Amino acid sequence: MLCRTANDLYWASRHMERAENTARLIDVTLRMALLPERYDRGKAEAAPWRRALDALGIADTVRERYGIIDGDTVLKHLLLAADNPSSVYSCLRAAREAARAQRVAITAEMYEDLNASWLEMRGNSWARIHGDGISNLLEWIKSRSASFRGVTIGTLGRGEGYHFLQLGAFIERADWAIRLLDIAGSQHNGDAQESQDAADYFRWSALLQSLSAFETYRRLYRESVSAQNVAELMLLQESNPRSLLTCTHTLHNVLQTLAGGEAMEAVRRAGALSAQSRYARIDEVLGNGLEAWLQDAMTRLTGLGEEIHRQFMVSTDIAQTAQAQSQSAA
Protein backbone atom coordinates (compact mmCIF):
# COMPACT_ATOMS: atom_id res chain seq x y z
CA MET A 1 0.00 0.00 0.00
CA LEU A 2 1.19 3.50 -0.82
CA CYS A 3 2.51 5.53 2.10
CA ARG A 4 0.10 8.30 1.11
CA THR A 5 -2.84 5.91 1.18
CA ALA A 6 -1.87 4.60 4.61
CA ASN A 7 -1.52 8.16 5.84
CA ASP A 8 -4.87 9.30 4.41
CA LEU A 9 -6.76 6.33 5.85
CA TYR A 10 -5.08 6.73 9.24
CA TRP A 11 -6.10 10.37 9.35
CA ALA A 12 -9.61 9.83 8.00
CA SER A 13 -10.51 7.61 10.92
CA ARG A 14 -8.46 9.71 13.34
CA HIS A 15 -10.42 12.79 12.37
CA MET A 16 -13.77 11.02 12.76
CA GLU A 17 -12.71 9.76 16.18
CA ARG A 18 -11.56 13.27 17.06
CA ALA A 19 -14.90 14.75 16.06
CA GLU A 20 -16.71 12.22 18.22
CA ASN A 21 -14.47 12.83 21.22
CA THR A 22 -14.77 16.58 20.83
CA ALA A 23 -18.52 16.11 21.07
CA ARG A 24 -17.99 14.03 24.20
CA LEU A 25 -15.70 16.69 25.69
CA ILE A 26 -18.31 19.37 25.06
CA ASP A 27 -20.93 17.12 26.58
CA VAL A 28 -19.00 16.62 29.81
CA THR A 29 -18.18 20.32 29.97
CA LEU A 30 -21.81 21.33 29.51
CA ARG A 31 -22.77 18.99 32.28
CA MET A 32 -20.09 20.39 34.62
CA ALA A 33 -21.11 23.92 33.84
CA LEU A 34 -24.48 23.10 35.36
CA LEU A 35 -22.93 22.75 38.80
CA PRO A 36 -23.65 25.69 41.16
CA GLU A 37 -20.85 28.10 41.97
CA ARG A 38 -20.31 26.95 45.55
CA TYR A 39 -19.28 23.50 44.25
CA ASP A 40 -16.88 24.82 41.70
CA ARG A 41 -14.57 27.68 42.42
CA GLY A 42 -14.13 29.93 39.46
CA LYS A 43 -17.25 28.74 37.71
CA ALA A 44 -18.38 32.31 37.16
CA GLU A 45 -15.20 32.87 35.19
CA ALA A 46 -16.13 30.00 32.91
CA ALA A 47 -13.71 27.61 34.63
CA PRO A 48 -15.25 24.48 33.07
CA TRP A 49 -14.65 25.87 29.59
CA ARG A 50 -11.13 26.91 30.39
CA ARG A 51 -10.43 23.43 31.71
CA ALA A 52 -11.78 21.95 28.47
CA LEU A 53 -9.38 24.13 26.50
CA ASP A 54 -6.50 23.31 28.81
CA ALA A 55 -7.11 19.63 28.19
CA LEU A 56 -6.58 20.34 24.50
CA GLY A 57 -3.71 22.73 25.15
CA ILE A 58 -5.37 25.55 23.22
CA ALA A 59 -6.54 27.98 25.94
CA ASP A 60 -4.03 30.62 24.86
CA THR A 61 -4.95 30.33 21.20
CA VAL A 62 -8.62 30.85 21.94
CA ARG A 63 -7.99 33.76 24.29
CA GLU A 64 -5.82 35.49 21.70
CA ARG A 65 -8.29 34.94 18.93
CA TYR A 66 -11.56 35.84 20.64
CA GLY A 67 -10.35 38.08 23.48
CA ILE A 68 -12.44 36.16 26.01
CA ILE A 69 -13.17 32.58 26.96
CA ASP A 70 -16.80 31.79 27.54
CA GLY A 71 -19.22 29.04 26.63
CA ASP A 72 -20.16 30.44 23.23
CA THR A 73 -16.63 31.17 22.03
CA VAL A 74 -15.43 27.73 23.06
CA LEU A 75 -18.39 26.04 21.37
CA LYS A 76 -17.90 28.00 18.17
CA HIS A 77 -14.20 27.26 18.16
CA LEU A 78 -14.58 23.53 18.81
CA LEU A 79 -17.57 22.93 16.58
CA LEU A 80 -17.59 25.33 13.68
CA ALA A 81 -14.30 27.23 13.27
CA ALA A 82 -12.95 26.51 9.79
CA ASP A 83 -9.54 27.86 10.86
CA ASN A 84 -9.30 25.45 13.80
CA PRO A 85 -7.90 22.28 12.22
CA SER A 86 -9.38 20.18 15.03
CA SER A 87 -12.89 21.64 15.05
CA VAL A 88 -15.63 19.17 14.24
CA TYR A 89 -16.20 21.08 11.02
CA SER A 90 -12.54 20.71 9.99
CA CYS A 91 -12.43 17.08 11.10
CA LEU A 92 -15.41 16.09 8.95
CA ARG A 93 -13.98 18.00 6.02
CA ALA A 94 -10.54 16.41 6.39
CA ALA A 95 -12.00 12.91 6.77
CA ARG A 96 -14.11 13.36 3.66
CA GLU A 97 -11.23 14.79 1.62
CA ALA A 98 -8.96 11.92 2.63
CA ALA A 99 -11.66 9.42 1.72
CA ARG A 100 -12.23 11.12 -1.63
CA ALA A 101 -8.52 10.91 -2.37
CA GLN A 102 -8.55 7.21 -1.42
CA ARG A 103 -11.77 6.05 -3.00
CA VAL A 104 -9.88 3.18 -4.52
CA ALA A 105 -8.79 1.89 -1.11
CA ILE A 106 -12.15 2.03 0.67
CA THR A 107 -15.68 0.90 -0.13
CA ALA A 108 -18.21 3.08 -1.91
CA GLU A 109 -20.41 2.99 1.18
CA MET A 110 -17.62 4.36 3.36
CA TYR A 111 -17.10 7.26 1.02
CA GLU A 112 -20.82 7.95 0.73
CA ASP A 113 -21.11 7.94 4.51
CA LEU A 114 -18.34 10.50 5.03
CA ASN A 115 -19.57 12.55 2.09
CA ALA A 116 -23.06 12.74 3.59
CA SER A 117 -21.65 13.81 6.99
CA TRP A 118 -19.59 16.54 5.41
CA LEU A 119 -22.35 17.87 3.20
CA GLU A 120 -24.65 18.20 6.20
CA MET A 121 -21.99 19.74 8.45
CA ARG A 122 -21.15 22.25 5.75
CA GLY A 123 -24.72 23.52 5.83
CA ASN A 124 -24.59 24.19 9.59
CA SER A 125 -24.46 27.64 11.13
CA TRP A 126 -24.18 28.94 14.66
CA ALA A 127 -27.75 30.27 14.50
CA ARG A 128 -29.08 26.91 13.38
CA ILE A 129 -27.11 24.99 16.01
CA HIS A 130 -28.34 27.35 18.69
CA GLY A 131 -31.91 27.00 17.45
CA ASP A 132 -31.85 23.22 17.35
CA GLY A 133 -29.98 22.87 20.63
CA ILE A 134 -26.35 21.91 21.12
CA SER A 135 -27.28 18.45 22.40
CA ASN A 136 -28.87 17.52 19.12
CA LEU A 137 -25.70 18.41 17.26
CA LEU A 138 -23.56 16.43 19.72
CA GLU A 139 -25.79 13.39 19.28
CA TRP A 140 -25.60 13.80 15.53
CA ILE A 141 -21.79 13.97 15.58
CA LYS A 142 -21.55 10.82 17.68
CA SER A 143 -23.97 8.99 15.41
CA ARG A 144 -22.01 10.05 12.27
CA SER A 145 -18.85 8.66 13.84
CA ALA A 146 -20.66 5.46 14.81
CA SER A 147 -22.03 5.17 11.29
CA PHE A 148 -18.59 5.42 9.71
CA ARG A 149 -17.18 2.90 12.15
CA GLY A 150 -20.05 0.53 11.43
CA VAL A 151 -19.83 0.85 7.66
CA THR A 152 -16.09 0.28 7.87
CA ILE A 153 -16.42 -2.84 9.98
CA GLY A 154 -19.29 -4.10 7.89
CA THR A 155 -17.98 -3.49 4.38
CA LEU A 156 -14.19 -3.16 4.23
CA GLY A 157 -11.98 -6.19 3.68
CA ARG A 158 -9.50 -6.96 6.44
CA GLY A 159 -6.39 -5.79 4.66
CA GLU A 160 -3.77 -3.17 5.28
CA GLY A 161 -6.29 -0.38 4.70
CA TYR A 162 -8.50 -1.66 7.48
CA HIS A 163 -5.53 -1.86 9.81
CA PHE A 164 -4.48 1.73 9.20
CA LEU A 165 -8.03 2.93 9.84
CA GLN A 166 -7.91 1.02 13.12
CA LEU A 167 -4.58 2.56 14.10
CA GLY A 168 -5.86 6.10 13.53
CA ALA A 169 -9.03 5.54 15.50
CA PHE A 170 -7.38 3.89 18.49
CA ILE A 171 -4.43 6.26 18.78
CA GLU A 172 -6.92 9.12 18.87
CA ARG A 173 -9.22 7.40 21.31
CA ALA A 174 -6.32 6.56 23.68
CA ASP A 175 -5.26 10.19 23.57
CA TRP A 176 -8.74 11.28 24.65
CA ALA A 177 -9.01 8.70 27.42
CA ILE A 178 -6.04 10.43 29.02
CA ARG A 179 -7.23 13.99 28.33
CA LEU A 180 -10.79 13.50 29.50
CA LEU A 181 -9.66 11.92 32.75
CA ASP A 182 -7.26 14.77 33.18
CA ILE A 183 -9.93 17.48 33.02
CA ALA A 184 -12.32 15.76 35.38
CA GLY A 185 -9.44 15.30 37.82
CA SER A 186 -8.21 18.89 37.64
CA GLN A 187 -11.40 20.56 38.82
CA HIS A 188 -11.01 22.66 41.95
CA ASN A 189 -13.70 21.85 44.44
CA GLY A 190 -15.35 24.16 46.92
CA ASP A 191 -14.06 23.89 50.47
CA ALA A 192 -16.83 22.31 52.53
CA GLN A 193 -16.62 18.49 52.79
CA GLU A 194 -20.27 18.14 51.90
CA SER A 195 -19.93 20.18 48.74
CA GLN A 196 -16.73 18.33 47.87
CA ASP A 197 -18.44 14.95 47.93
CA ALA A 198 -21.35 16.22 45.90
CA ALA A 199 -19.00 17.84 43.40
CA ASP A 200 -16.93 14.68 43.15
CA TYR A 201 -19.98 12.61 42.40
CA PHE A 202 -21.23 15.11 39.91
CA ARG A 203 -18.08 15.48 37.87
CA TRP A 204 -17.20 11.81 37.74
CA SER A 205 -20.69 10.80 36.78
CA ALA A 206 -20.75 13.56 34.16
CA LEU A 207 -17.59 12.07 32.70
CA LEU A 208 -19.06 8.57 32.70
CA GLN A 209 -22.21 9.77 31.03
CA SER A 210 -20.38 11.67 28.34
CA LEU A 211 -18.43 8.49 27.60
CA SER A 212 -21.58 6.39 27.60
CA ALA A 213 -19.87 4.37 30.35
CA PHE A 214 -22.26 4.85 33.23
CA GLU A 215 -23.90 1.46 32.74
CA THR A 216 -20.54 -0.28 32.49
CA TYR A 217 -19.49 1.38 35.71
CA ARG A 218 -22.60 0.26 37.55
CA ARG A 219 -22.21 -3.29 36.34
CA LEU A 220 -18.53 -3.49 37.31
CA TYR A 221 -18.47 -1.69 40.63
CA ARG A 222 -21.95 -1.80 42.09
CA GLU A 223 -21.04 1.08 44.37
CA SER A 224 -21.15 4.82 44.44
CA VAL A 225 -19.14 6.73 41.89
CA SER A 226 -15.59 7.33 43.13
CA ALA A 227 -12.53 8.90 41.62
CA GLN A 228 -10.51 5.71 42.05
CA ASN A 229 -13.03 3.51 40.27
CA VAL A 230 -13.54 5.95 37.42
CA ALA A 231 -9.80 6.23 36.89
CA GLU A 232 -9.52 2.45 36.87
CA LEU A 233 -12.38 2.13 34.41
CA MET A 234 -10.87 4.76 32.12
CA LEU A 235 -7.32 3.45 32.22
CA LEU A 236 -7.08 -0.18 33.20
CA GLN A 237 -10.37 -1.93 32.43
CA GLU A 238 -10.43 -4.08 29.33
CA SER A 239 -14.21 -4.25 29.39
CA ASN A 240 -14.47 -0.51 28.70
CA PRO A 241 -14.20 0.00 24.91
CA ARG A 242 -12.71 3.46 25.40
CA SER A 243 -10.17 2.67 28.14
CA LEU A 244 -6.49 3.26 27.63
CA LEU A 245 -5.91 -0.49 28.02
CA THR A 246 -8.42 -1.41 25.32
CA CYS A 247 -6.94 1.17 22.94
CA THR A 248 -3.31 0.24 23.47
CA HIS A 249 -4.07 -3.47 23.40
CA THR A 250 -5.83 -3.04 20.05
CA LEU A 251 -2.94 -0.93 18.72
CA HIS A 252 -0.50 -3.64 19.73
CA ASN A 253 -2.53 -6.35 17.99
CA VAL A 254 -2.97 -4.36 14.80
CA LEU A 255 0.70 -3.46 14.65
CA GLN A 256 1.69 -7.10 15.17
CA THR A 257 -0.51 -8.03 12.23
CA LEU A 258 1.06 -5.30 10.09
CA ALA A 259 4.57 -6.33 11.10
CA GLY A 260 3.86 -9.95 10.18
CA GLY A 261 6.52 -11.31 12.49
CA GLU A 262 9.14 -8.71 11.60
CA ALA A 263 10.85 -6.98 14.53
CA MET A 264 9.46 -3.48 14.57
CA GLU A 265 9.98 -0.61 16.99
CA ALA A 266 6.30 0.40 16.76
CA VAL A 267 5.25 -3.07 17.95
CA ARG A 268 7.63 -2.90 20.89
CA ARG A 269 6.35 0.51 21.94
CA ALA A 270 2.70 -0.46 21.64
CA GLY A 271 3.37 -3.65 23.59
CA ALA A 272 5.11 -1.76 26.38
CA LEU A 273 2.30 0.78 26.57
CA SER A 274 -0.32 -1.92 26.61
CA ALA A 275 1.53 -3.85 29.34
CA GLN A 276 1.79 -0.70 31.43
CA SER A 277 -2.00 -0.44 31.49
CA ARG A 278 -2.61 -4.15 31.80
CA TYR A 279 -0.40 -4.77 34.83
CA ALA A 280 -0.80 -1.52 36.73
CA ARG A 281 -2.85 -1.33 39.94
CA ILE A 282 -5.06 1.67 40.40
CA ASP A 283 -4.09 2.22 44.05
CA GLU A 284 -0.43 2.38 43.03
CA VAL A 285 -1.19 4.76 40.15
CA LEU A 286 -3.07 7.11 42.45
CA GLY A 287 -0.54 6.66 45.25
CA ASN A 288 2.33 7.78 43.01
CA GLY A 289 0.26 10.63 41.59
CA LEU A 290 -2.29 10.32 38.79
CA GLU A 291 -1.09 13.39 36.97
CA ALA A 292 2.47 12.10 36.58
CA TRP A 293 1.18 8.74 35.39
CA LEU A 294 -1.06 10.35 32.78
CA GLN A 295 1.77 12.59 31.67
CA ASP A 296 4.04 9.60 31.17
CA ALA A 297 1.35 7.67 29.28
CA MET A 298 0.75 10.66 27.01
CA THR A 299 4.45 10.98 26.21
CA ARG A 300 4.68 7.31 25.29
CA LEU A 301 1.51 7.50 23.23
CA THR A 302 2.82 10.48 21.28
CA GLY A 303 6.06 8.59 20.71
CA LEU A 304 4.12 5.62 19.39
CA GLY A 305 2.21 7.85 16.98
CA GLU A 306 5.47 9.27 15.65
CA GLU A 307 6.93 5.81 15.28
CA ILE A 308 3.89 4.59 13.29
CA HIS A 309 4.29 7.58 11.01
CA ARG A 310 7.99 6.96 10.54
CA GLN A 311 7.54 3.24 9.94
CA PHE A 312 4.69 3.28 7.44
CA MET A 313 3.99 6.74 6.13
CA VAL A 314 7.40 8.07 5.22
CA SER A 315 9.07 6.29 2.36
CA THR A 316 12.54 5.02 3.14
CA ASP A 317 14.01 7.03 0.24
CA ILE A 318 12.72 10.25 1.81
CA ALA A 319 13.85 9.22 5.28
CA GLN A 320 17.33 8.49 3.92
CA THR A 321 17.51 11.81 2.09
CA ALA A 322 16.43 13.67 5.22
CA GLN A 323 19.01 11.78 7.26
CA ALA A 324 21.76 12.53 4.75
CA GLN A 325 20.82 16.21 4.76
CA SER A 326 20.84 16.49 8.54
CA GLN A 327 24.21 14.74 8.65
CA SER A 328 25.78 17.01 6.06
CA ALA A 329 24.33 20.01 7.90
CA ALA A 330 25.96 18.78 11.10
User: Can residue 313 be called a binding residue for other proteins (CB under 8 A)?
Assistant: yes
Residue of the chain from 34, 318, 322, 324 that contacts other proteins (CB under 8 A): 318
Nearest to 12 by CA among 235, 159, 172: 172
- Residue 289 C-beta: closest distance to other proteins, Å: 39
Find the binder of other proteins among 76, 100, 142, 149 (CB under 8 A).
100
Q: Does 322 bind other proteins (CB under 8 A)?
A: no
Q: Which amino acid is residue 201, in one-letter code?
A: Y
Nearer to other proteins, 63 or 309 (CB): 309
Interacting residues with other proteins between 224 and 263 (CB under 8 A): 258
For residue 189, give the 3-state DSSP assignment: strand
| Choice between 193 and 316, CB closer to other proteins | 316
**Contacting other proteins (CB under 8 A), which of 44, 68, 104, 263?**
104
Stretch in the footprint of other proteins (CB under 8 A) among 73-81, 100-108, 219-227, 282-290: 100-108
Number of residues that bind other proteins (CB under 8 A): 26
Touching other proteins, residues 112-151 (CB under 8 A): 112, 115, 118-119, 122
Of residues 207, 233, 215, the one with CA closest to residue 31: 207
Question: What is the rounded CA–CA span in Å between residue 170 and residue 244?
Answer: 9
- Work out whether the CA dihedral 303, 315, 261, 263 comes out positive or negative: negative
Task: Give min distance, CB of 108 to other proteins, in A.
Answer: 6
**Residue 170 in contact with other proteins, rule: CB under 8 A:** no
Nearer Cβ to other proteins, position 1 or 59?
A: 1
The Cα angle at residue 20 between residues 15 and 25, in degrees rounded to 5: 120
Choose, by CB under 8 A, the member of 82, 108, 192, 322 that binds other proteins: 108
Q: Based on CB atoms, which residue is closest to other proteins, 54 or 160?
A: 160
Nearer to other proteins, 4 or 158 (CB): 4
54, 79 Cβ separation under 8 angstroms: no
- Binding region for other proteins (CB under 8 A) out of 109-117, 168-176, 186-194, 248-256: 109-117
- Start-to-end CA distance of the chain, whole Å, equals 34
- Length of the chain in residues, anyone? 330
Separation CA 37–CA 285 (nearest Å): 31
Residue 65 interacting with other proteins (CB under 8 A): no
Dihedral sign, CA of 39, 48, 55, 225?
positive
User: In the set 36, 38, 45, 103, which binds other proteins (CB under 8 A)?
Assistant: 103
Task: Report how far residue 283's alpha carbon sits from residue 294's, in angstroms, rounded to the nearest whole number.
Answer: 14
Q: Determine which residue in the list 33, 58, 59, 101 makes contact with other proteins, applying CB under 8 A.
A: 101
- Output the CA angle 272-278-279, nearest 5 degrees: 90
Q: In degrees to the nearest 10, what's the CA dihedral of 8, 265, 236, 189?
A: -70
Which listed range, 2-10, 49-57, 125-133, 188-196, lies at the site for other proteins (CB under 8 A)?
Answer: 2-10
**φ, ψ for residue 311, nearest 5 deg:** -70, -40
Q: How far apart are CA 308 and CA 47, in angstroms?
A: 36
Per CB under 8 A, residues contacting other proteins are 1-4, 6, 97, 100-101, 103-104, 108, 111-112, 115, 118-119, 122, 160, 164, 258, 312-313, 315-318
